[in-house]
Amino acid sequence: MLELLLTDARVATMDPAVAGPYGAIEAGAVGVRSGRVAYVGPAASAPPARHVEFLGGRWVTPALIDCHTHLVFAGDRAREFEARQNGATYEEIARAGGGILSTVRATREASLEDLVESAIGRLEALRRGGVATVEIKSGYGLTAGDEEKMLIAAGEAARAAKVRVKRTLLALHALPPEYRSDRAAYVRLVCDETIARVASAGLADAVDAFCEGIGFTLEETRAVFDAALKHGLKIKLHAEQLSDMKGARLAAAYGALSADHLEYIDEEGVAALAKAKTVAVLLPGAFYALKETTKPPVALFRKHGVAMALASDLNPGTSPMLSPSLAMSMGATLFGLTPEECLAGMTRNAARALGLDRECGVLKTGLAADIAIWPVDHPAELSYWIGHPGPDALFIAGAAVEEH
Ligand code: DI6
Ligand code: FE
């Protein structure tokens, strides 16, 4: 006996094993038992259930997954936005000690409680948009203790907002001011202390680094990857966002779950991602906010069969974006993804980018019952509306989320 059956639905399973666009099942149903999907298929052959909901032909999809955010932070960067609107560039602001470092100052000063509270608000905004799983990076603390504080805040906020979370240590995000004259010492601190502390406390699943001219070099990134692997953490990388540092190749060589941004990646880099089955995470919010013009090479990702995910990159500097719908709209309109690629980018491929492909991201028997019910007539609408308000209902591990 199922606990819940959502029936009289059109189901975009996003499961590649189901033939056709979106892995769609017309006149379909999804059944739930013990927080897992227990049936996906034609409504006519669904087993009996204690509760049955008739959806009147509405579309059901896997709940969305935002696989790249920096949503724990203090302060805001609205003044910096104003400076940029008056002509300053992101790089100029960063070199003048603003940018990421201004958020570092505010985040170090903030209490754990304040970080949790503001993060809950952002998580709830994403959740209203249909997001059940979020990745959250550190990177605004930079000392071992402050990075731990951020990751603890991420865990507590996710628990309070009842969303599934994956946490990523991004200690190589910016050079902290106290190490300005000794980069090597900072990288050593991260390798020898921060990673070990975070890993042994179970505060992160992966490490990431900002491999960039205004961030960290390939060699510095490599050192952190080596330390991360030693401590059993997975690898992710901010690569080729503002220039071609050949970071994606390095990430692929380390078997990274994902390489993210990738506006400046070349074909050799794309081929390396394909070979390593590393997911390309595209972040149109930062591209939009920075008014970039170089787009990620979507045609090359398709040609080489690199899975593309799409995420908000929610952060105070380059992507203050609280809407998964906007990420999908921008993925389509700015980067040229098809609506089906956009939805795959925030479901199936996002799950892969987090190492969660056996847990969520498609509607398939045995996976978590993370389900969104949308008031739309076609799944293309999820990328078509510019800022869709979100699903009518959202289930996370089989539990209905209240405000929907
Ligand atoms: N790339 C980005 O776009 C963000 N971090 C990164 O490595 C920016 C974060 C910020 O400006 O606060
Ligand atoms: Fe980012």
51 CA distance to ligand 2 centroid (A)?
41
Q: What is the pLDDT of residues 237-269, one digit of tens each?
A: 999 999 999 999 999 999 999 999 999 999 999
| Integer Cα distance of 215 and 175 in angstroms | 7
**Which among 100, 287, 291, 312 is the best mutation to test ligand 1's pocket, defined by most ligand atoms within 8 Å of the CB?**
100
For residue 239, the ligand closest to its alpha carbon is 1
Backbone angles phi, psi at 204, to 5 degrees: -145, 155
Q: Sorting pLDDT into bands at 50, 70 and 90, what band is 404? A: low
Backbone angles phi, psi at 297, to 5 degrees: -80, 75
**Three-class secondary structure assignment of 59-73:** EEEECEEECCCCCCC
Q: What is the pLDDT of residues 272-324, one digit of tens each?
A: 999 999 999 999 999 999 899 999 999 999 999 999 999 999 999 999 999 99
Residue 303 has what pLDDT? 98
Its pTM stands at 0.97
User: What average pLDDT is seen over the chain?
Assistant: 97
Encoded tokens for 178: 């106290």
Backbone angles phi, psi at 89, to 5 degrees: -95, 160
Helix H or strand E segment including 286: helix 284-289
pLDDT over 80 at 47, yes or no = yes
Residue 76 has what pLDDT? 81
Report strand pairing: 279-282 vs 308-310: parallel
What is the number of the ligand 1 atom nearest to the C-alpha of 90?
Answer: 11
Residue type, 4: L
Q: Sorting pLDDT into bands at 50, 70 and 90, what band is 91? A: confident
Nearest CA to ligand 1 atom 6: 210
Percentage above 90 pLDDT, the chain: 93
Q: What's the rounded mean pLDDT across residues 335-362?
A: 98
Please, what is the Cα angle at 55 between 51 and 61, to 5 degrees?
100
Lowest mean pLDDT among 78-92, 204-218, 364-378: 78-92
Q: What's the rounded mean pLDDT across residues 33-62?
A: 98
Q: What's the rounded mean pLDDT across residues 73-77?
A: 92
174 CA distance to ligand 1 centroid (A)?
9
Check: CB of residue 341 under 8 Å from CB of residue 380.
Answer: no
| Integer Cα distance of 247 and 268 in angstroms | 11
**What are 280's strand-pairing partners?**
259, 308
Residue 329 has what pLDDT? 98
